[in-house]
Amino acid sequence: MVSRVLACLSLTDSGSLTAAGLAGRLGVSPASVSKAITYLEGQGMIRRERDGGRRERYTVDDDIMYDSMMASARSTAELARTAREGAPVFGPGTPAGIRLENMARFLDHVSEAVARAAEQARDLLHTKPGTPPPDAPA
């Protein structure tokens, strides 16, 4: 259901629908849509906006993948911090302490790489066709 909701939003011209609009297009219950929306919003893949009155619209935009990747990088960095804080609890020379420190180093690297790749991809997508990317050699 999550992928169906994301695909439905992504394929609309506006990139935006209400819960009722999603349920109608997908032929599912509003509860199914609500659960998928909660997950997608938690992952930073959609945005919730007021539709003038009481109704909410769910929106994806051109930066949705960037925003999602940056949220993932932040989450991974938080796991690295937690592992790093746990290493001294077990002791730096213990198997658990070494394992936690290695996890932290690994997760730091992955987090930084994901954030860097997301920035580079966003720069590429925001460059007009035929124009070199901002970091291209002159």
2-59: which CATH number, 3.30.2130.10, 1.10.10.10, 1.10.3720.10, 3.10.620.30? Answer: 1.10.10.10
64 contacts 46 by C-beta, under 8 angstroms: yes
Q: In the numeric block, which tokens belong to residue 42?
A: 């938690």
Write down the pTM of the prediction: 0.69
pLDDT(138) > 60: no
Q: Which residue has the higher pLDDT, 128 or 138?
A: 128
Residue boundaries of the structural domains of the chain: 2-59, 64-125
28: CB partners within 8 A, 6+ apart: 1, 4
Q: Which of 38-47, 63-72, 111-120 has the highest mean pLDDT?
A: 111-120
Written as six digits, the tokens of 126 are 């925001």
